[in-house]
């Protein structure tokens, strides 16, 4: 057997560890562990409808312990697959309709995947999504085994760099290649709760607004549980038509209904031994709630059109943004089903309650989707950061991702400003200088006094503790002459704050109180 080469990613990982000061004994132990790891066969998953025995043999000769599987369901039944840090998936061997079933298999956060793609099918949007979402790299057409070996080593090295992230943040990497990021107290409390509930098999209900990351929390619980080697199977109860939901959950036998040409297992059965995540459970139709309740009580299901009772061992996690208390009061959701689902409860904090985490998340998103803008966007202006803090984020993290990704594509400059994020109205305005603050306060006091006393400028001057000439100067400087329009002579007879004599009745139309003029109406008696 040829001598095994050290994967590049392992060297990088060891370099990172050496950067941290540690006792000599720890360094010695780490070096010994690295040597043992390099000598031992490295676990690799080979997922293909028709695995190539020549490729599998070549990989085995070059230091890989290869586990082959022809489907996602078969892969889920192989415990060794969960420990693999490298994987090769032959997407070209799967029919287009089968690609959607591969999410559960590829959603292994510690596995670096390399995809084999048929060039003729590369335009398939489902295929492109799988490559973009889960794979470290991809290859078109016929590829030499040596090239695949090299790429698998790189993918394994990158996957190994992710090991330990969960211990630092308290949560596992996310299903879509992201991760739960946060250091505020609300997120630290969430991470502590995840660690607690992961050690049990009790049902967990995750409450929170839309876009807060409830599926990421569910996946983090699964990855920290004893079931992490088995599948994590999500299903959005609100996205599937009610007529198909029963079949999607429980599966069906051949001939169960028109179009059922073959047996199909449901999502519950596909999660055997692992975790079933019922997203948007609040949108579950009332007619489907009874069947789900029976499964939760008995741990058994029957496929549609079948008579066999099948035992299923799964842990159930559920989530919704719907107020289930109100739904139960209205009779839209069964209380007995809720109590089965909500043995333990987790409340997901909204983005607006996460304080400085908003900036941390924004920079993380910028780094993660750096390719969207061709790599030219480097950061945010202080004004953009301030606008993000001021905005309420009704769409939470999902909205933050959407705004940043759109800005990365459309922005003209490498540093995103508030307008690029469509948050210009929330941008911080420059703080006024001391002189500007004094000027504004002076104008406000002057305007209020003039409106209170109308044409009686002497009283306004007395209230403001200034002389009449100073008051006239201030009115002119602040542009408030119009407040008492046409009343320059109404103070005749008023001396040192004493009331002025009332104008003659026939002159009343020429001397109307300023507040009446400002309001657009004439005082009583002003019209003849």
HEC profile for 308-354? CCEECCCEEEEEECCCHHHHHHCCCCCHHHHHHHCCEEEECCCHHHC
Answer for the pair 138, 196: CB distance below 8 angstroms, yes or no.
Answer: no
338 lies in the same domain as 379: no
19 lies in the same domain as 152: yes
310 lies in the same domain as 295: yes
Geometric angle at alpha carbon 467, from 463 and 471, rounded to 5°: 80
Task: Report if residue 524 sits inside a domain.
Answer: no
Tokens encoding 142: 């016929």
d(CA 528, CA 525): 7
Distances (CA, A) of 365 to 109, 354, 355, 408: 18, 16, 17, 11
389 lies in the same domain as 446: no
176 lies in the same domain as 120: no
Q: How far is CA 514 from the centre of its chain?
A: 56
338 lies in the same domain as 441: no
- The CATH number of the domain holding residue 296 is 3.40.50.300
Distances (CA, A) of 368 to 179, 210, 294, 372, 373: 10, 22, 42, 9, 11
Tokens encoding 455: 């044409």
Task: Report if residue 154 sits inside a domain.
Answer: yes
**Predicted local confidence at residue 99, as pLDDT:** 85
Structural domain including 250 reads: 170-349
Q: How far is CA 440 from the centre of its chain?
A: 43
Task: Report if residue 229 sits inside a domain.
Answer: yes
**Predicted local confidence at residue 373, as pLDDT:** 65
283 lies in the same domain as 212: yes
409 lies in the same domain as 438: no
- The CATH number of the domain holding residue 55 is 3.40.50.2300
Which of 406, 426, 446 delimits the end of a domain?
426
330: number of CA atoms within 13 Å, CB side?
Answer: 10
- The CATH number of the domain holding residue 379 is 1.10.8.60
**Predicted local confidence at residue 84, as pLDDT:** 78
281 lies in the same domain as 320: yes
**Predicted local confidence at residue 430, as pLDDT:** 62
147 lies in the same domain as 14: yes
Task: Report if residue 222 sits inside a domain.
Answer: yes
185 lies in the same domain as 311: yes
465 lies in the same domain as 372: no
Geometric angle at alpha carbon 380, from 378 and 385, rounded to 5°: 155
Task: Give the single-character DSSP code of 163.
Answer: T
The whole-number mean pLDDT for each consecutive block of 10 residues of the chain, a chain of 528 residues, reads: 39 31 41 49 88 90 89 78 82 86 75 88 86 85 87 82 43 45 88 92 95 93 91 91 88 84 89 94 91 93 88 95 93 95 95 91 86 76 91 94 93 90 80 81 89 85 90 87 55 39 41 42 43
Which of 332, 349, 366 delimits the end of a domain?
349
Closest by Cα among 236, 230, 199 to 313:
230
Task: Report if residue 505 sits inside a domain.
Answer: yes
Domains held by the chain: number: 4
Which of 163, 196, 231 delimits the end of a domain?
163
Task: Report if residue 203 sits inside a domain.
Answer: yes
Task: Report if residue 180 sits inside a domain.
Answer: yes
Q: How far is CA 463 from the centre of its chain?
A: 57
**Predicted local confidence at residue 516, as pLDDT:** 42
**Predicted local confidence at residue 465, as pLDDT:** 92
Task: Report if residue 1 sits inside a domain.
Answer: no
Phi, psi of 521 (to 5 degrees): -135, 155
**Predicted local confidence at residue 428, as pLDDT:** 63
């Amino acid at each position: 057997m040829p001598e095994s080469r050290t994967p590049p990613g392992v060297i990088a990982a060891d370099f990172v560890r050496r950067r941290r000061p540690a006792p000599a004994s720890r360094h010695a132990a780490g070096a010994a562990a690295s040597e043992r790891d390099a000598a031992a066969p490295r676990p690799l998953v080979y997922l293909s409808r028709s695995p190539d025995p020549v490729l599998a043999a070549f990989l085995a000769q070059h230091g890989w312990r290869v586990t082959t599987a022809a489907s996602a369901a078969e892969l889920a039944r192989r415990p060794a697959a969960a420990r693999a840090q490298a994987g090769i998936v032959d997407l070209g061997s799967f029919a287009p309709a089968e690609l959607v079933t591969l999410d559960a298999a590829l959603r292994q956060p510690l596995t670096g995947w390399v995809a084999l793609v048929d060039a003729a099918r590369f335009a398939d949007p489902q295929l492109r999504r799988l490559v973009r979402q889960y794979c470290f790299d991809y290859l078109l057409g016929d590829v030499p085994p040596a090239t695949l070996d090299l790429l698998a080593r790189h993918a394994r090295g990158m996957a190994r760099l992710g090991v330990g992230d969960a211990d630092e943040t308290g949560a596992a990497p996310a299903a879509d290649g992201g991760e739960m990021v946060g250091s505020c107290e609300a997120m630290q409390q969430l991470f502590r709760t995840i660690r607690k509930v992961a050690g049990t098999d009790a049902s967990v209900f995750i409450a929170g607004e839309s876009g807060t990351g409830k599926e990421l929390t569910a996946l983090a619980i699964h990855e920290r549980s004893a079931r992490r080697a088995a599948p994590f199977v999500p299903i959005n109860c609100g996205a599937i038509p009610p007529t198909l939901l029963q079949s999607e959950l429980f599966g069906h036998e051949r001939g169960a209904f028109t179009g059922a040409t073959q047996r199909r297992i449901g999502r519950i059965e596909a999660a055997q031994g692992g975790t079933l995540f019922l997203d948007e459970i609040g949108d579950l139709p009332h007619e489907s709630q009874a069947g789900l309740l029976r499964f939760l009580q008995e741990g058994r299901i029957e496929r549609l059109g079948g008579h066999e009772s099948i035992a299923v061992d799964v842990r159930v996690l559920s989530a919704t943004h719907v107020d289930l208390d109100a739904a139960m009061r209205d009779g839209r959701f069964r209380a007995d089903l809720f109590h089965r689902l909500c043995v333990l409860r987790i409340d997901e904090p909204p983005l607006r309650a996460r304080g400085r985490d908003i900036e941390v998340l924004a920079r993380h998103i910028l780094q993660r989707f750096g390719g969207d803008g061709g790599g030219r966007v480097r950061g945010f202006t202080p004004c953009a950061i301030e606008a993000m803090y001021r905005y309420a984020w009704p769409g939470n993290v999902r909205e933050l991702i959407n705004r940043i990704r759109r800005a990365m594509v459309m922005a003209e400059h490498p540093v995103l400003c508030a307008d690029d994020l469509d948050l210009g109205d929330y941008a911080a305005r420059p703080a006024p200088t001391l002189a500007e603050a004094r000027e504004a306060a002076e104008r406000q006091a002057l305007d209020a006094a003039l409106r209170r006393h109308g044409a009686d400028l002497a009283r306004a001057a007395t209230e403001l503790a200034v002389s009449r000439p100073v008051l006239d100067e201030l009115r002119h400087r602040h542009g408030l002459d119009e407040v008492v329009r046409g009343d320059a002579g109404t103070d005749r007879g008023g001396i040192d704050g004493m009331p002025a004599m009332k104008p003659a009745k026939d002159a009343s139309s020429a001397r109307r109180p300023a507040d009446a003029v400002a309001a657009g109406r004439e005082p009583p008696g002003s019209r003849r």
